[in-house]
Homo-oligomer: A and B are copies of this chain.
Amino acid sequence: MTELLSNYLGGRWQAGTGAGAGTALLDPVLGTELVRVDATGLDLAAGFDFAREQGGAALRALTYRERAALLSAALKVLQANRDAYYDIATANSGTVKNDSAVDIDGALFTLGSYAKLGDALGDKRFMLDGDMARLGKEPLFQSQHVLTPTRGVALFINAFNFPAWGLWEKAAPALLSGVPVIIKPATATAWLTQRMVKDVVDADIFPPGALSVVCGSSAGLMDQLQPFDVVSFTGSADTAAVIRSHPAVVQRSVRVNIEADSLNSAVLLPGEAADSPAFDLLVKEVAREMTVKSGQKCTAIRRVFVPEALYAAVAQALSARLAKTTVGNPRNDTVRMGALVSRSQLAAVREGLAHLAGQAEVLHDSSQQALVDADPTIACCVGPTLLGTRDARGSDSADRVHDTEVFGPVATLIPYRDTAHALALVRRGQGSLVTSLYGSDAAALAAAALDLADSHGRVHVISPDVAQLQTGHGNVMPQSLHGGPGRAGGGEELGGLRALNFYHRRSAMQASTAVLAHLQTPA
């Protein structure tokens, strides 16, 4: 039997007590069992209380700077164990090294960023929000808004595709805010999350109750939430709906952050010739986004909008790039793209692809290509596929491409008539995490970006002058907001210090200027 991963809750390691062997985590390339998880029989109420009472009080007693120092200490521990995380990612996520880096190094970079931001907040335990506002003609009775940490726990129900980054991009702002966290990683890839938490817990960095991890079923977790707790979920729209309609949210006003489905897009603006720098930048970025982590990124490009006259040229250039993608066992150095996470995800991708293809032509199909060092009857690998809606009329009539997120190496090329048409088609995604724009006219890029801003959490603009500097359509930078309206769930994460808002409560203090003066000194 493989190792049964322990849960850390209530300040101690606890094995699940289920009658069976728990749930096995598999290698998606080799099909072998790696470890097992089980959350059966945990005293969740006691665990949440411990985090809320012990963990919360201890964290709130620290200043932002002190908490930031703990984040730095955790970062050092993670850096020291980085090789082990890559090994786990190879085995459990089936990703090539470059793709594991997006998750692991992305996590470390984000954690480090919040350590730096927190240090700059200094020796305070709350934040002022804006300036004092007079509540009369004389400045003697005024209003000062403050942000103080919520006295609850932060429950994270995370997705399988970012076991490392998904943990720390949420935990770093929460812990920095003074709010204890309880992480429930997706079962399929829970190993890396659990190991990172274990390493940090073993190093005895955070106060007891500050950091907990539950691996296995999420049953009963939401039931524990009280009015001052918060919950952050990344995953499917269906599960998001279950969380949003839970009594904790509906009746107890538990604050919820959702990041769900997203039909992200890339748009080549009009006026760029075939093989122009902007054209090449689009082709390169789309091919990369389709294949990084086998397209299993919530930010990956699913819809590619190009002027009708360039449809064939883009199709050809993209196909040529995609044809070079070797797929298979990530342990083989010639492999560029590893596996999907599971056989069920592989089946879902094939099903989604067939659904999309019902309204599109196939421009490039590597879905049946031979795998390197991998058995196609076992490995969860699939090559990239590019679809297309053929002409602008086809773009208008197709609806599936705007509604169906296929979570794999799949994108659809969509020709448009003019800029207004392109922007209208982009909007049919009903709210997305990110769109990227490609062009060389700064004014036109800025205008299109502004037009799409309200329906996207992020607009990424790639112009030739930043070809080498741009940070990537799909890479989530801690400086920028991550989230999106509508279908994307309506959530907000990261964005520098904005991330701390979710874990703080805003309050208006109306008082004499003499009383408010006491808020200016560290407390």
Contact = CB atoms under 8 A, between A and B. Distances in A.
Give the interface centre of A244, A459, A515 by most chain B CB atoms within 10 Å: A515
Interface string A471-514: 10000010111000111111010011010000011111111101
A454 B258 contact: no
A302 interface: no
A431 B443 CA distance: 48
Contact of A459 (B456, B507, B514): B507
Nearest to A471: B135
Given A143-B480, A431-B228, A507 B443 contact: no
Nearest to A473: B510
Contacts of A454: 148-151, 228, 504-505, 507
A506 B481 contact: yes
Contacts of A446: 511, 515-516, 518-519
Nearest to A492: B506
Interface stretch (A245-253, A333-341, A399-407): A245-253
Contacts of A463: 511-512, 514-515
Contacts of A191: none
A146 interface: yes
A253 B431 contact: yes
A450 B519 contact: yes
Interface string A438-467: 000011011101100111111111010110
B250 A241 contact: yes
A506 B249 CA distance: 23
Nearest to A469: B141
Contact of A141 (B140, B459, B471, B517): B471
Interface in A252-275: 252-253, 255, 258, 260
Contacts of A252: 486
Q: Which 8 A-B pairs have the closest CB atoms?
A: A227-B486, A446-B518, A461-B511, A480-B508, A253-B490, A453-B507, A141-B469, A133-B479
16 contacts: A130-B496, A130-B498, A145-B481, A150-B454, A228-B485, A253-B488, A255-B485, A442-B515, A454-B504, A454-B505, A454-B507, A458-B509, A461-B510, A471-B510, A495-B506, A495-B508
